[in-house]
């Protein structure tokens, strides 16, 4: 059984994951209308992953005697001045999510809720991966600079990254 405090902290995280999903969906739309197909696909996949993160929390809260809350969400921004700015926001957003997960882990430890503490370890590992992916994408973008040919290749490469990561998520 979840304590009220942990239930509410988990619900806060549900909202953050839902907002992350909306944010990446909005980034996908912007990239798509710019003709950046590969980047758009990457963002659509990211958005789906965030929804999966949210659902995993929803199920956990409901299974442990809590009540997962589906709430209104903060609307994400819809335009970006450059795709570099967009990926910087993605990276900073993931740092924010990691911090939020860390705080959540801390609360479960303080309350000696070892089941929730154990459940959240999956999110801790996931955040390490998400931060690393976002960072390596940003490094690539910094290498490209303003080179249009570089952007074309980057857009193609990132599509490959999407295929690889969706194989990693859904191994046959």
> Which residues make up the interface to ligand FEO (CB under 6 A)?
17, 20, 50, 53, 94, 97, 130
DSSP 8-state class, residue 131: H
| 92 or 164: CB nearest ligand FEO | 92
CA distances 170 to 6, 13, 38, 39, 165, Å, are: 30, 24, 20, 20, 9
Of residues 113 and 130, the one with the C-beta less far from ligand FEO: 130
Min dist CB 20 to ligand FEO, Å, is 5
Q: Is 46 annotated as a binding residue?
A: no
User: Based on CB atoms, which residue is closest to ligand FEO, 7 or 130?
Assistant: 130
**Is the Cβ–Cβ distance between 19 and 75 less than 8 Å?**
no
What is the smallest separation between the CB atom of 159 and ligand FEO, expressed in angstroms? 20
Q: Which is nearer to ligand FEO, 14 or 36 (CB)?
A: 14
- Residue 153, SS3? helix
Does the annotation list 88 as a binding residue? no
Which of 8, 17, 31, 5 lies closest to 73, judged by CA?
17
As a whole number of angstroms, the distance between CA 72 and CA 66 comes to 19
- As measured in angstroms, the least distance from the Cβ of 50 to ligand FEO is 5
Q: Which residue is nearest to ligand FEO (CB)?
A: 53
Q: Is 19 annotated as a binding residue?
A: no
Residues counted in the chain: 172
- List binding-site positions for Fe cation: 17, 50, 53, 94, 127
């Amino acid at each position: 059984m979840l304590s009220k405090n942990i239930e509410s902290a988990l619900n806060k995280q549900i909202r953050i994951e839902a907002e992350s999903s909306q944010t990446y969906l909005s980034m996908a739309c912007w990239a798509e209308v710019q003709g950046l197909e590969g980047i758009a696909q990457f963002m659509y996949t990211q958005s789906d992953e965030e929804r999966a993160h949210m659902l995993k929390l929803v199920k956990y809260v409901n299974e442990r005697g809590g009540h997962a809350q589906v709430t209104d969400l903060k609307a994400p921004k819809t335009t970006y001045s450059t795709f570099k700015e967009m990926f910087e926001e993605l990276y900073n957003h993931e740092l924010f999510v990691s911090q939020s997960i860390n705080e959540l882990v801390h609360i479960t430890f303080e309350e000696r809720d070892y089941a929730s503490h154990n459940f959240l370890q999956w999110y801790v590992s996931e955040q390490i991966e998400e931060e690393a992916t976002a960072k390596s994408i940003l490094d690539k973008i910094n290498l490209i600079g303003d080179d249009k040919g570089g952007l074309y290749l980057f857009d193609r490469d990132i599509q490959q990254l999407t295929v690889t990561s969706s194989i990693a998520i859904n191994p046959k």
